[in-house]
Amino acid sequence: MKNILVTGGAGFIGSHTCVALLEAGYSVVIADNFSNSGPRTLERIREITGRDFVFCEADVTDRAAVEGIFKENNIDGVIHFAGFKAVGESVEKPLAYYYNNLVSTIELAKACLSHRVKNFVFSSSATVYGDNKAPFTETMPLLPTTNPYGETKVISERILSDAAAANQGFSVTLLRYFNPVGAHESGLIGEAPNGIPNNLMPYITKVAKGELKELRVFGDDYDTPDGTGVRDYIHVMDLAEGHAAALKKMSGFSVYNLGTGRGTSVLELVTAFERANSLKIPYRITPRRAGDIAVCYADAKKAERELGWKAKRTVEEMCRDAWRFEAGLRDEK
Ligand code: UD1
């Protein structure tokens, strides 16, 4: 497998994965419509890797556009990141979420089958586990998610699993991400959400920058050691490398958690950020956020055992790199 189509390759996880793939010697075709990203990231991927790639400005729900990409490029595998991902917005605009996230998955899978592309990796999320008891293992029965975004992940997983079962030789790997944070260590690419961030780390970096006054900690009455929510934060470059490891082992249908296996509370993350960057993050405890669960972390052993991949970067490195990107501190080497 040499040439990989990366949808959403200008986005947060997609761009870091392109870096990992180019550095591992793959050729890359990026398809992105810049719905939540921009062309500058593409320049930065070139700058970091010193390598070029094909770029197609395309919406992958558009059948004709997808067909064109597959016709013009000799694709060996697809990693499908492109999708809407804001939980709150998905409750307000369910049809947009179901349409965008499901039609893209179907069109890409269909194009794979008609062009005999045998490998499909899907960006899924730990959200599919719902409120299970951590650590989450791949074999657990999935519980309902609380929002349309989560449902699009559950349904896409199902669509791809059925497609793999029905088509011998079509290999599908579902990767369930825990909480990706941080940035490439150069500080050149990172997470740049539009508007006010929903997720914890980008919110913290905006507070650190003075663009937001204080962090709201959503609840300190959970059944956790300090009462705040516990998550499995994973450095985005570890996650990116997980994709390269998954591509090497494609066969049949597989599901892997990509997490560290360790939980960190909101207040622990705030403290780690302050320590890593010698900064103070003002915060205030507020009521719980609707739909949040208390504890979410991975059982990460399957990926280690079968893919030979393990997250290796620390929470401090996640905090340092997230801030380096946000603050615009660049490693000019
Ligand atoms: C969220 C989504 C999840 C999605 C994931 C990746 C929700 C309910 N879940 O996960 O479906 O797959 O992002 O995009 O949105 N927190 C604060 N203050 C903040 C922001 C967050 O205290 O301003 C807390 C949360 O309550 C939680 C933790 O920080 O305990 C992590 O939150 P977040 O970064 O939004 O991720 P998840 O909720 O785990």
Per-residue pLDDT of 168-193, as tens digits, reads 999 999 999 999 999 999 999 999 88
User: Using the 8-state DSSP alphabet, how is residue 298 labeled?
Assistant: B
Residue pointed to by tokens 């450095």: 235
Find tokens 């959970």 and name the residue.
Answer: 222
pLDDT grade, residue 1 (50/70/90)?
confident
Is the confidence at residue 332, as pLDDT, over 60?
no
With beta carbons less than 8 A apart as the criterion, state whether 159 and 165 touch: no
Angle in degrees, CA 89, 91, 94, rounded to 5: 95
User: Whose alpha carbon is nearest atom 34 of ligand 1?
Assistant: 199
Which residue owns the Cα nearest ligand 1 atom 19? 200
Catalytic annotation present for 149: yes
pLDDT tens profile 20-49: 999 999 999 999 999 999 999 999 999 999
Which residue is associated with the tokens 């990116």?
240
Does ligand 1 have an atom closer than 6 angstroms to the CB of 231?
A: yes
For range 218-235, the mean pLDDT: 98
Q: pLDDT category, 307, cuts 50, 70, 90?
A: very high
pLDDT of 236 above 90: yes
Ligand 1 neighbour 150 (Cβ under 6 A): yes
Q: Is the pLDDT of residue 135 over 70?
A: yes
Atom of ligand 1 at shortest distance to CA of 197? 23
- What is the per-residue pLDDT across 145-171, written as a single tens digit (0 to 9) for each? 999 999 999 999 999 999 999 999 999
Q: What is the pLDDT of residues 262-305, one digit of tens each?
A: 999 999 999 999 999 999 999 999 999 999 999 999 999 999 99
Mean pLDDT value of segment 319-331: 87
Ligand 1 pocket residue status of 227, Cβ below 6 Å: no
Q: What is the Å distance from ligand 1's center to 158 Cα?
A: 24
DSSP state of 287: P
- Segments in 280-314 forming alpha helices (H): 301-307
Ligand 1 within 6 A of CB of 134: no
**Minimum-distance ligand 1 atom for the alpha carbon of 292:** 8
Looking at residue 48, its pLDDT comes to 98
| Ligand 1 closest atom vs CA 149 | 11
Q: Which of 149, 177, 233, 256 is catalytic?
A: 149
Identify the residue whose C-alpha is closest to ligand 1 atom 22. 217
Helix (H) or strand (E) holding 135: none
* Threshold 0.85, pTM exceeds: yes
Ligand 1 near 268 CB (within 6 A):
no
Confidence class of residue 330 from pLDDT cuts 50, 70 and 90?
low
Say whether pLDDT at 85 is over 50.
yes
